[in-house]
Amino acid sequence: MDDFKTVAKFDSHVHFNIFDTTFLKQSQADNFHLLTVNVSPYYYPPIEKQLEIATQLIREYPDRISFATTFSVKIFNDKNGNSKPWTI
């Protein structure tokens, strides 16, 4: 464990659902790079809010965090079988 802080590490699955740098500060101290994954379960903030949080954190800790995002499956087939167009 003597080299714990000097060995680079990668945590490939975290979720930042609020803007809070506590975990990032610890990851910096422990030499971790984090990947926050934006997902769309009903109990998480909207994907757009998660994207906003992720980009704010990346601006402050560009060497410590990356993100992967998703899209809402609500764009696929509504009750009438129609799909909505993709917009970005």
pLDDT digits (tens, 9 = 90+) for 43-64: 999 989 999 999 999 999 999 9
Q: What is the SS3 assignment for 4-33?
A: CCCCCEEEEEECCCCCCCHHHHHHHHCCEE
Beta-carbon contacts of residue 69 (< 8 Å; ≥ 6 apart) = 38, 47, 50, 51, 54
Q: Which of 4-8, 25-29, 35-39, 79-83 has the lowest mean pLDDT?
A: 79-83
What is the per-residue pLDDT for 12? 85
Domains of the chain by residue range: 9-75
pLDDT category of residue 17 using cuts at 50, 70 and 90 = very high
The predicted model gives 70-76 an average pLDDT of: 68
CB 54 within 8 A of CB 16: yes
